[in-house]
Amino acid sequence: MSGAHFAFTDRWGGVSAAPYEELNLGGAVGDDPGAVRTNRELAAKALGLDPARVVWMNQVHGADVAVVDEPWGDRPVPEVDAVVTARRGLALAVLTADCVPVLLADPVAGVAAAAHAGRPGLVAGVVPAAVRAMVALGAEPGRIVARTGPAVCGWCYEVPETMRAEVAAVEPAAYAETRRGTPAVDVSAGVHAQLDRLGVRDRARSPVCTLESEDHFSYRRDRTTGRLAGYVWLD
Ligand SMILES: [Zn+2]
C-alpha cells in the first residue's frame, strides 16, 4: 500500500513583500505574480514535489468538483472548490486564509481530493460532493484519511444571528459562540460532522486558528493578505 501525504503551509519561508509576507501562494490576491510563482516553486521543492505537477483551483465558494488526471497545462483553470484524482504522484492544492482546507485520501484505492470549505461551501456540501466523487473512482469512506488544516475557529468566526441559524439549519455541528457570547460559526466542526456521517472516521483537525496565529494568513484579520495552501498526494 502506498502512502498518502498531507501538508499545510504557514506564512513563512517565501519571497513576497508586505502585506503578503512571506509565502503567499494565492495568485488572485494582488501580489506580484513572479513572487507567487517563486513561492509555489519553493513550497513544492520543500515537499519533494514537481511544481508543474501541482493542480490548483479557481475557487468560487461553490460545491462543484473537477476530476483531474494531469495538470491543467494551457487549459483554463476551472471554477471549482474541490479536485479529485486517481493519479498517483499528482498533487492537489487548496488555497485558504480562514476557510477550511480539506485533504482526503484513500491510499488503497489511490484516490485523493482537496476541497475548499468556507461557510458557503459547508452549506453547499462541497466536502460530501468531493467524497462522492472519490467513491465514484473506487474509494471507500471507511478507508479515507481526512485532514483539515488551519482555519478561523468557532470562537473567532463571528456572524449575524440569522447567518448562524441558516448554517446550523444545514449543519448543527457548526453552531458556535464567540468568547464574548455572540453568534459564531465553526466551519471545521461542520466539515468533520459531514465527514463522520459519510463514514470517514480517520480524521484530524489542525488546532491552529488562522485569525489568532501570527504565523498564518487571515482574511478576517487583515483583509489584504496572502493565502496558505494545503497539499495532498499519493505515491
Ligand atoms: Zn480563533
For residue 146, pLDDT over 80 is answered with yes
Handedness of CA 8, 82, 32, 99 (dihedral sign): negative
Cα distance between residue 112 and residue 133, in whole Å:
10
Q: 37 CA distance to ligand 1 centroid (A)?
A: 30
The pLDDT, as a whole number, for residue 165 is: 98
Superfamily of the domain at 4-234: CNF1/YfiH-like putative cysteine hydrolases (3.60.140.10)
How much is the average pLDDT of 66-82?
Answer: 96
Work out the percent of the chain whose per-residue pLDDT is above 90: 99
Q: 76 CA distance to ligand 1 centroid (A)?
A: 35
Q: 186 CA distance to ligand 1 centroid (A)?
A: 10
Q: 29 CA distance to ligand 1 centroid (A)?
A: 23
For residue 123, pLDDT over 80 is answered with yes
Would you state the torsion angle of the CA atoms of residues 91, 95, 101, 103, taken in this order, to the nearest 10 degrees?
A: -10
How much is the average pLDDT of 126-154?
Answer: 98
A 10 A CB-CB count for 44 gives 20
Q: 211 CA distance to ligand 1 centroid (A)?
A: 6
The pLDDT, as a whole number, for residue 2 is: 62
Residue 98 vs residues 77, 83, 209: alpha-carbon distances, Å: 22, 19, 8
Classify residue 98 as left (phi > 0), alpha (psi -120 to 50) or beta. left
What is the gyration radius of the CA atoms in the chain, in angstroms? 17
Average pLDDT, the chain: 97
Q: 207 CA distance to ligand 1 centroid (A)?
A: 10
Long-range contacts of 20-23, Cβ-Cβ distance < 8 Å, separation of 24 or more = 20/225, 20/226, 21/226, 23/226
The pLDDT, as a whole number, for residue 180 is: 97
The pLDDT, as a whole number, for residue 193 is: 98
Nearest to 63 by CA among 129, 9, 118: 129
Q: 212 CA distance to ligand 1 centroid (A)?
A: 5
How much is the average pLDDT of 124-129?
Answer: 98
Q: 221 CA distance to ligand 1 centroid (A)?
A: 11
Cα distance between residue 203 and residue 214, in whole Å:
26
Q: 205 CA distance to ligand 1 centroid (A)?
A: 14
Instruction: Categorize the per-residue pLDDT at 107 as very low, low, confident or very high, splitting at 50, 70 and 90.
Output: very high
Instruction: Categorize the per-residue pLDDT at 10 as very low, low, confident or very high, splitting at 50, 70 and 90.
Output: very high
Q: 196 CA distance to ligand 1 centroid (A)?
A: 23
The pLDDT, as a whole number, for residue 30 is: 97
The pLDDT, as a whole number, for residue 186 is: 98
Nearest to 197 by CA among 153, 152, 132, 148: 132
How much is the average pLDDT of 106-113?
Answer: 98
Q: 154 CA distance to ligand 1 centroid (A)?
A: 6
